Amino acid sequence: MTASRWRKILVHLSRLAFAFAITAILTQFPFDYIESFLYDARVRLRPPPAPSGFIETIVIDAATIQNLGRVPNANDFRVLIERLHEAGAHSIVSLVNPNEAVGSLDEVRSLAKTAASLTNFYVAVDDVPLSGEKNALQLSPPFENVRAASAPVPVDRNIFARDDVSRRMMLAYQGLPTLHPIIAGEFNPDLKSKFQTAEGYQRDAFRGVFEYLQSDQLYIQFAPTGTYVPSSYSSLLAEESRESLKKFKGKIVIVGRDIQTTSKDYVRTPYSRDIVAMTIVELSANMFDTVIRNDATTRAPRWVNILITGLISYLTVIVVLTLTPTTGLLTLGSTIFGYFVVALLTLWIGQTWIDMAHPFLAIFICYYFFIPYRLILENRRSWEYYQKNKLLTQVEELKTNFLSMMSHDLKTPIARIQGMADVVKSDPNPLSPRQKEAVDTLRRSSDELLEFITGVLNLGRIESKAIQLHFHSKDVNSVVRDVVAKLDYLARSKQIEIRTELETLFSIRFDVDLMKQVLSNLVENAIKYSPENSSILVTTEERDGWIVVQVADQGPGIPEDELPRIFMKFYRSRNAKGSAIKGSGLGLYLAKYFVELHKGRISVDSTEGQGSTFTVELPTI
Ligand code: ADP
């Protein structure tokens, strides 16, 4: 393996190592707040779960106070639970402690007696009994015989996200199930048989269960507030409401408060962080349904989250170091968006919660860590370019100065040579044939030299100032005809025939003088490089919005390796340099320059020994 390959592998490995180092450090911090915030966003975006239909809720609401003219008392409480029992409710869960109900001693006692006699009546309390503790939940007299069941409302207050939102529910504490799984199990016999076995309570029966401080917990599958529409307490007390009580048959009925007098009756949820976002009654309904459906969200294992964060960090490092800033930002933007969609779909379809906070923070950290590094690299590179460019400009300037100086200084002596040759030629004393030939050669050579020098001087002039284009609307064919007519004499001197095939064209706007120079150069070259007795074909046509002029000859062609260079300044092919054909190597350079000023294209198609075809394309608009 070569050294550069090793270096490449090493560079990749160091990027990988950096990405995983960032991951290792980052994943030490939980970022629960951001993670839960992003979880809530996903919960809100996915379609909510459908209620099981086994739950009914009743609330003491503003209408109840209005209708009764007071807070429901012990008597109202007794009447309500009696009626619910008569209607065949499967279980009645009161979130209101009957101890709070006011009334005469008899009324309170009567309520206690009724409540204790109903085996399906439970008072939900926030406490959890410790294993082995007796009567821990017992209500104070006279309600000591009423069933009190543990139904705590976990809130992320001092733990996890610390944002006062309720996301979790408790299934069991120290192996003792709470009220929710016990009642919900009646509506999901399959689940019940799995968690209530002969060996006792089995936590693994519940989807998404996790352990936290000796308790088994689930993430509640929330439905938005208002999904469980409550019945008003007072509407059920009226004598004529018996008919409407039928809907409670076979249901879990939850009774609670919604009068906004205490924040204890409400929780914040992933759907809303308002202080009265959801009643405890509706929260409890969500908890029951989560267990009945057994579809709680499962958190992806830690190693999956670390792996995802590592991969995303690595991707970011590569993007920042290799792509251009705009493409890099676009790629990272799409990665963030794409990952959000994946995480949303995972929650929505797979009910699985994959971490978003760590991957997103990894992107930001890797980005901000590597951008300055990239900037330093870029800066150094542009400094090098700048230096090289400066040098090149100086060289170019030197070259131009040198050329123009040379040209100027050469022009005068050449003019003198020409003059002297003419003097000798016109001398009345006859010259010997050898002398005449020598003077003729002198004259021809100095003409060629002057032509070359004029070419170089013209080039300098063209390059030093922007050329003003003088556009005229004209038919390209007429220019072709002029050029061919002008060069016909030159062609004939080599017995070369110039044929034309000109398609009728619309006039287009172009600089007539410049295009004449371009076409003259192409036809001149064709004549210059073609053998005697050959022919040249000049064609014009319109093709896909372009006027196409082609000059094809039967000359020597151009070697393939030289094709890309023939439009370069001063470039002459090896064959041309070795032959007697004179030239400056500027004709095609200028032709390309002029065609491109017209937003056109020039190209050549040639096979060595089989002639060349030059194509000029000018846009019609
Ligand atoms: P020159 O003054 O040398 O003709 P040009 O820029 O016009 O300069 O052409 C550059 C080179 O391209 C020429 O030296 C020649 O090698 C090659 N070339 C141009 N036209 C033809 C042609 N029709 N057939 C073969 N070679 C050509």
Q: Where are the domains of the chain?
A: 13-45+297-467, 50-294, 469-619
* Residue 62 near residue 259 (C-beta atoms within 8 A): yes
pLDDT given at position 466 = 64
What does the pLDDT look like over 23-48, one tens digit per residue? 999 999 999 999 999 999 999 999 99
Asked whether residue 460 carries a pLDDT value surpassing 80, the answer given is no
Question: Residues of the chain with pLDDT > 70: what percent?
Answer: 99
Average of per-residue pLDDT across 487-499: 93
Q: Give, using CA atoms, the residue closest to atom 14 of ligand 1.
A: 572
pLDDT given at position 427 = 84
| Ligand 1 neighbour 529 (Cβ under 6 A) | yes
Helix (H, G, I), strand (E, B) or coil at 449: helix
| Ligand 1 neighbour 585 (Cβ under 6 A) | yes
pLDDT given at position 336 = 95
Asked whether residue 478 carries a pLDDT value surpassing 80, the answer given is yes
* Residue 127 near residue 178 (C-beta atoms within 8 A): no
* pTM, rounded to two decimals: 0.64
* Residue 60 near residue 233 (C-beta atoms within 8 A): yes
Atom of ligand 1 nearest to the CA of 585: 8
pLDDT given at position 1 = 66
What does the pLDDT look like over 82-123, one tens digit per residue? 999 999 999 999 999 999 999 999 999 999 999 999 999 999
What DSSP assignment string belongs to 62-117?
HHHHHHHSS---HHHHHHHHHHHHHTTBSEEEESS-GGG----HHHHHHHHHHHHH
The more confident residue out of 430 and 357 is 357
Q: Give the residue, out of 454, 518, 529, 605, with the most ligand 1 atoms within 8 A of its beta carbon, to mutate for a pocket test.
A: 529
436 vs 348: CA distance, rounded Å: 101
The pLDDT confidence band at residue 619, using thresholds 50, 70 and 90, is very high
Window from 370-379, 447-456, 472-481 with minimum mean pLDDT = 447-456
pLDDT given at position 450 = 83
| Ligand 1 neighbour 572 (Cβ under 6 A) | yes
What does the pLDDT look like over 148-197, one tens digit per residue? 999 999 999 999 999 999 999 999 999 899 999 999 999 999 999 999 99
Length, in residues, of the chain = 621
Asked whether residue 579 carries a pLDDT value surpassing 80, the answer given is no
| Ligand 1 neighbour 571 (Cβ under 6 A) | yes
CA of 556 to the centre of ligand 1 (A): 11
CA of 566 to the centre of ligand 1 (A): 7
Q: Give, using CA atoms, the residue closest to atom 7 of ligand 1.
A: 587
Strand duo 91-94 + 252-258: pairing: parallel
CA of 445 to the centre of ligand 1 (A): 20
CA of 395 to the centre of ligand 1 (A): 26
What does the pLDDT look like over 244-289, one tens digit per residue? 899 999 999 999 999 999 999 999 999 999 999 999 999 999 999 9
Q: Give the residue, out of 459, 566, 612, with the most ligand 1 atoms within 8 A of its beta carbon, to mutate for a pocket test.
A: 566
| Ligand 1 neighbour 129 (Cβ under 6 A) | no
Give the torsion sign (CA, 443, 406, 457, 388): positive
Average of per-residue pLDDT across 329-351: 95
Atom of ligand 1 nearest to the CA of 575: 16
**What is the CA angle 597-599-601, rounded to 5?**
100
User: CATH assignment of 469-619?
Assistant: 3.30.565.10
| Ligand 1 neighbour 91 (Cβ under 6 A) | no
Asked whether residue 535 carries a pLDDT value surpassing 90, the answer given is yes
Asked whether residue 594 carries a pLDDT value surpassing 80, the answer given is yes
pLDDT given at position 136 = 83
Which strand (E) or helix (H) includes residue 188? none
CA of 440 to the centre of ligand 1 (A): 26
